[in-house]
């Protein structure tokens, strides 16, 4: 224990230091409060009984504050100023970013900068970006870790668990990502944009989402220019590893191929944090009109739109996002007249409904076609059965009426066919009126009679030919019936 204290004087554990690396590796700069709310939200409910908000914050962030202190001793993190409310800002060093790349399982080249000096002016924009991430994540407390806490603490934590679902994990988010219209990923040229956030959460049906956070300091014209840079980046094509040209963004992020005839660009989410002088309710309509050529789709006869080569642009207020989460109907897609949940806003539900109707119609047509095939097969089978029965009846009509002349049994089909065979109009069979068994007996009897020698005379003279005496068969045998 003494050795651990010497290495980590603040008494931090590996799990809390890993929390700091993951959060600061993704967000670049954050407060201990934000780190705790993202990584261990159950602590928020455990210390809710403290008398003042400051004491509650101090209690629930103590573990991560200690981890930050130990990491600063090891050269992994540093203090980066403070926010407007006096909270200390923390960021990673270059060594810390390298350690965070292992925690986040990202290449070190994609970790970005250390964000040193971000807190020199209060870091209002990075804080808004972090709050956007927290609102999208909707971190859920681990109720099992509150098993020994009072019932009202467990009830509050369970209510948070039952609340709106979030999107992704902290590892799903990138901050300050360059979008080069010229140059390369590592050395972007002029004319490109820089995304405040990039979200990749295919497990939550959000394969790729670019996020811009505005503290309502920018005008509609400035936001339009930024979206034009997005469009320029989306249109840029480069050669991929297989030698084929693809959109540059597809060489870094995985996203499913779109449907034939409808290949929109990735969606862009605008998050308005109303702390500046601009009113988003006035900025959004002007921005919508100025960027119409970027987002407006082509209406189809079925009632939906196709957005081939267009950017789905969605707007939301940070306060609404905090309150309702990604599943709340607070996201306004440019060109639509009502807010929707995030998945519907960035998607094309009318197209999905039209495709579903078309698939259902196709399924019904296929079932009807298969039913027709089965009916035709049954009719054909019935027709063949009737034809077979008719042929069998005709065959039976042609069958000889009499039975075997020897034993009285009816001929089999094979024996009947053999008895009817002819050679130039003459019967081939020697005994056409007998069955196989009686025929064999008759043939054997004929062969025996032909093999018996004539009796010798006592005087030695050659017997004169005379009428052949045929032995009289026993009464009731096959021969008597044949003669009769």
**pLDDT tens digits along 196-218:** 999 999 999 999 999 999 999 99
Q: What is the mean pLDDT of residues 447-451?
A: 80
CA geometry: angle 258, 180, 217, nearest 5 deg: 95
455-479 average pLDDT score: 51
pLDDT digits (tens, 9 = 90+) for 428-443: 777 777 787 888 888 8
Q: Where are the beta strands (DSSP E) in 244-344?
A: 245-247, 268-272, 298-299, 305-306, 313-317, 332-333
Across residues 367-382, what is the average pLDDT? 93
- Pick from 197, 33, 40: nearest CA to 126: 197
Do the beta carbons of residue 138 and residue 164 sit within 8 Å?
yes
213, 128 in Cβ contact below 8 A?
yes
Q: Which pLDDT band, with edges at 50, 70 and 90, does 479 fall under?
A: very low
Average pLDDT over residues 141-146: 92
Query: Which of 235, 102, 118 is CA-nearest to residue 176?
Result: 118
- Sequence-distant (≥ 6) Cβ neighbours of residue 252 within 8 angstroms: 185
Of 66-80, 375-389, 445-459, which range is least confident?
445-459
Q: What is the pLDDT of residue 273?
A: 96
For the ranges 33-37, 145-149, 392-396, the lowest mean pLDDT is seen at 392-396
Q: Which two tokens stand for residue 186?
A: 């590592």
Which of the residue ranges 30-39, 42-51, 144-153, 322-331 would you say has the lowest mean pLDDT? Answer: 42-51
- SS3 of residue 271 by DSSP: strand
301: pLDDT strictly greater than 60: yes
pLDDT, greater one: 270 or 296: 270
Looking at residues 380-405, what average pLDDT do you find? 79
Using the predicted structure, report yes or no on whether residue 30 has a pLDDT greater than 80.
yes
Between 13-27, 356-370, 383-397, 445-459, the lowest mean confidence (pLDDT) is in 445-459
Cross-strand pairs, 422:
427
Query: Model-level pTM greater than 0.85?
Result: no
DSSP-derived pairing of the beta strands 237-239 and 298-299: unpaired
136, 321 Cβ separation under 8 angstroms: yes
Phi, psi of 198, deg, nearest 5: -130, 125
Listed in sequence order, the residues at least 6 apart from 208 whose beta carbon sits closer than 8 Å to its beta carbon are 198, 199, 200, 249, 253, 254, 255, 266, 267
How many Cβ atoms sit within 10 Å of the Cβ of residue 54? Answer: 9
What's the mean pLDDT in 161-190? 92
Kindly report the average pLDDT of the chain as a whole number. 85
Instruction: Tokens 């034009």: give the residue.
Output: 228
pLDDT at 417: 73
Say which range, 31-40, 104-113, 234-243, 447-456, has the weakest mean pLDDT. 447-456
Question: How much is the pLDDT for 319?
Answer: 96
């Amino acid at each position: 224990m003494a050795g651990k204290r010497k290495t980590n004087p603040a008494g931090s554990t590996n799990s809390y230091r890993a929390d700091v690396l993951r959060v600061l590796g993704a967000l670049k700069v954050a407060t201990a409060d934000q780190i705790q709310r993202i990584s261990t939200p159950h602590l928020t409910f455990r210390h809710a009984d403290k008398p003042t908000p400051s004491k509650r914050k101090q209690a629930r962030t103590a573990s991560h504050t200690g981890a930050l202190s130990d990491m600063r001793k090891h050269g992994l993190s540093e203090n980066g100023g403070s926010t407007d409310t006096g909270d200390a800002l923390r960021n990673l060093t270059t060594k810390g970013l390298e350690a965070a790349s292992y925690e986040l399982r990202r290449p070190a080249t994609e970790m970005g900068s250390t964000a040193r000096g971000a807190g020199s002016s209060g870091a209002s924009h990075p804080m808004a970006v972090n709050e956007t991430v927290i609102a999208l994540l909707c971190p859920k407390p681990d109720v099992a870790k509150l098993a020994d806490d009072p019932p009202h603490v467990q009830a509050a934590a369970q209510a948070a668990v039952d609340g709106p679902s979030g999107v992704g994990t902290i590892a799903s988010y990138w901050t300050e990502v360059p979008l080069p219209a010229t140059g390369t990923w590592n050395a972007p040229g002029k004319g490109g944009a820089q995304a405040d956030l990039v979200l990749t959460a295919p497990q939550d049906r959000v394969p790729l989402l670019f996020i811009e956070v505005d503290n309502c300091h920018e005008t509609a014209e400035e936001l339009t220019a930024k979206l034009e840079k997005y469009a320029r980046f989306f249109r840029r094509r480069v050669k991929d590893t297989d030698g084929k040209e693809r959109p540059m963004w597809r060489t870094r992020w995985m996203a499913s191929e779109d449907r034939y005839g409808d290949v929109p660009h990735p969606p862009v989410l605008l998050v308005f944090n109303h702390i500046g002088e601009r009113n988003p309710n006035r900025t959004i309509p002007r921005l919508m009109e100025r960027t119409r050529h970027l987002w407006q789709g082509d209406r189809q006869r079925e009632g939906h739109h196709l957005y081939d080569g267009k950017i789905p642009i969605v707007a939301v207020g940070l306060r609404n996002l905090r309150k309702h989460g990604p599943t709340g109907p607070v996201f306004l897609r440019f060109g639509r007249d009502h807010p929707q949940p995030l998945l519907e806003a960035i998607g094309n539900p009318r197209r999905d409904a039209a495709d579903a109707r078309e698939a259902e119609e196709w399924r019904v047509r296929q079932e009807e076609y298969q039913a027709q095939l089965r009916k035709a097969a049954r009719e054909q089978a019935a027709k063949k059965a009737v034809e077979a029965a008719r042929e069998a009846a005709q065959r039976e009509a042609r069958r000889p009426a009499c039975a075997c002349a020897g034993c009285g049994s009816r001929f089999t089909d094979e024996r009947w066919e053999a008895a009817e065979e002819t050679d130039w109009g003459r019967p081939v069979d020697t005994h056409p009126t007998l069955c196989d068994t009686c025929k064999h007996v008759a043939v054997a009897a004929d062969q025996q009679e032909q093999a018996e020698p004539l009796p010798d005379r006592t005087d030695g003279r050659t017997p004169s030919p005379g009428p052949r005496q045929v032995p009289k068969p026993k009464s009731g045998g096959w021969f008597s019936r044949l003669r009769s």
